[in-house]
């Protein structure tokens, strides 16, 4: 699998040099009229001659090829495996955005996630066997009304302040920039997932039903929402940790705001990019929260239940800085965020992306607290500091851009007796801007002992990601 990653990377570079060599041999008159290969355009239909009423489509897919070092005691399709070669669809999405009147817009996003050869679809064997026919569902479905638009409807000039309100199944989230992350403009192979405080528990793939308001007050960009969390009803064990149980039916509240020191970002949708290849100078500092009463429950003594509020706070900084000669198109991207989570006593979540493994009941060795496959400690009551950095290398091709990156997360969970370090190192190979991306990445995770709650081993994972965006 390691050889496969190297071959893909070398092939991409070789292809680019060959293309540049062919263009250099063209006649001068052909070179003058040649269309910019980076200008792919967008899938947009204007509904009136003025062009202020329109229908826009978006398509994206992320295909993953992996080599996974499994946690001890892992079965894959019923067979013990220390290492697993894996292929799957991490995300495949279709978006529809419509400006029906100057004041009124609709946003829809649908698709599938996390389908592999063994997970994400049905169960059993046959036509709807393990991994087959993954569910296609709506991620976002909301309407939005402009109270004060970005641009004056009469003059077309930008307004210093703007306000929008909306309602539906939405992802105008609080807490941090990464909690509102664009999955089509990520710096690394994926987002770390702990950036979503209720992911697939009290939300649907980071979305909840509710009402939201967002906009700008000069250089301050903000978003706030009031939502109805998805229902949870897990039963805690006596003396055990808090678990997800919001049966009392309380609302959730969230918000995030960031101040923009240099170039301002346009937030037509909720998604904030984590990587624009440092094309413009950006420096944003933000903070946010997520809160819901009685979101979890514990049982300190038999038949005595206690409910606990869920409170999450985040503070972050995001910067993109062009570096050196402008013609070289070099640039630095840096993001750093601090999270404080409170889900109740000793709350802990474990998860593995596209996890192919299940526990082996016959295994007699040292088991990990995380369980089987590529499970890791995701989040819990405690603190997480996460940082990532990427650098666009000097331009050497009209088609290809290369951007090495590094991620680091330090997790200090109350339920564990030792902090854990997680890291990813890799490189992006961009073909035709950000419309096509190849990612080569290696990730390392610690494993915790079931009894001592301290680290006893580390495991790794190689990823080759192929991403297309239109």
Residue showing tokens 């969230």? 254
452-461 b/e (C-beta count within 10 Å ≥ 16 → b): eeebeeebeb
Q: How far apart are CA 97 and CA 47, in angstroms?
A: 13
Extended strands (E) in 129-268: 137-148, 161-170, 208-217, 220-228, 243-244, 252-260
Range of the domain at 378: 2-469
Across 292-306, average pLDDT: 97
Whole-model pTM? Answer: 0.90
DSSP secondary structure code for residue 416 in this structure: S
The mean pLDDT value for 220-244 works out to 98
* pLDDT tens track for 358-393: 999 999 999 999 999 999 999 999 999 999 999 999
Q: What whole-number distance in Å separates Cα of residue 280 and Cα of residue 464?
A: 28
Query: What is the Cα gyration radius of the chain?
Result: 24
Number of folded domains in the chain?
1
Would you give the DSSP letter of residue 360? -
What is the domain-level CATH number for residue 134?
Answer: 2.40.160.10
Phi-psi region of 275 (alpha: psi -120 to 50; beta: other; left: phi over 0): beta
- Which residue, 280, 385, 409, is CA-closest to 332? 280
Distance CA 369, CA 73 (A): 11
Q: What percent of the chain has a predicted confidence (pLDDT) above 70?
A: 91
Token pair 């070289």 in the structure block, residue? 328
> What confidence tens digit (pLDDT) does each residue in 378-434 have?
999 999 999 999 999 999 999 999 999 999 999 999 999 999 999 999 999 999 888
Answer for the pair 372, 82: CB distance below 8 angstroms, yes or no: no
**Cα separation, 122 vs 134, whole angstroms:** 7
Structure tokens at 193: 């997932």
């Amino acid at each position: 699998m390691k050889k496969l990653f190297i071959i893909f990377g070398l092939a991409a570079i070789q292809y680019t040099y060959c293309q540049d060599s062919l263009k250099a041999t063209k006649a001068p008159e052909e070179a003058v009229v040649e269309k910019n290969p980076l200008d792919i355009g967008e899938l947009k239909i204007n509904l009136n001659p003025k062009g202020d009423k329109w229908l826009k489509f978006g398509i994206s897919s992320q295909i993953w090829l992996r080599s996974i070092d499994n946690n001890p005691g892992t079965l894959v399709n019923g067979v013990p495996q220390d290492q697993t070669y894996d292929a799957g669809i991490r995300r495949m999405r279709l978006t529809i955005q419509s400006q029906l009147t100057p004041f009124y817009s609709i946003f829809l996003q649908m698709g599938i996630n996390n389908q592999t050869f063994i997970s994400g679809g049905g169960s059993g064997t046959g036509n709807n066997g393990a991994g087959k026919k993954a569910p296609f569902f709506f991620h976002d479905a909301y309407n939005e009304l402009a109270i004060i638009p970005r641009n004056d409807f009469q003059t077309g000039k930008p307004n210093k302040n703007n306000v929008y309100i909306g309602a539906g199944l939405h992802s105008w989230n609080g807490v941090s920039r990464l909690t509102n992350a664009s999955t089509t403009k990520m710096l690394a192979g994926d987002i770390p997932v702990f950036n979503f405080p209720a992911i697939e528990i009290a939300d649907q793939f980071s979305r909840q039903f509710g009402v939201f308001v967002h906009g700008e007050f000069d250089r301050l960009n903000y978003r706030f929402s009031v939502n109805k969390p998805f229902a949870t009803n897990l039963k805690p064990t006596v003396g055990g940790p808090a678990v997800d149980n919001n049966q009392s039916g309380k609302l959730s509240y969230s918000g995030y705001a960031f101040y923009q020191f240099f170039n301002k970002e346009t937030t037509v949708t909720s998604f904030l990019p984590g990587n624009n290849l440092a094309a413009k100078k950006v420096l944003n500092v933000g903070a946010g929260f997520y809160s819901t009463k009685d979101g979890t429950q514990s049982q300190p003594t038999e038949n005595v239940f206690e409910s606990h509020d869920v409170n999450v706070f985040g503070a972050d900084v995001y910067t993109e800085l062009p570096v050196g000669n402008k013609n070289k198109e070099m640039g630095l991207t840096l993001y750093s965020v601090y999270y404080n989570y409170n889900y109740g006593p000793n709350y802990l979540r474990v998860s593995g992306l596209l996890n192919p493994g299940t526990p082996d009941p016959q295994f007699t060795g040292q088991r990990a607290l995380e369980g089987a496959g590529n499970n890791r400690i995701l989040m819990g009551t405690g603190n997480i500091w996460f940082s990532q950095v990427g650098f666009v290398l000097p331009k050497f091709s009209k088609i290809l851009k290369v951007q090495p990156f590094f991620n680091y997360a330090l997790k200090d969970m109350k339920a564990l007796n030792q902090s854990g370090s997680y890291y990813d190192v890799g490189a992006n190979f961009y073909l035709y801007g950000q419309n096509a991306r190849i990612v080569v990445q290696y990730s390392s995770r610690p494993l915790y002992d079931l009894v001592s709650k301290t680290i006893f081993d580390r495991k790794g994972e190689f990823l080759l990601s192929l991403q297309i965006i239109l």
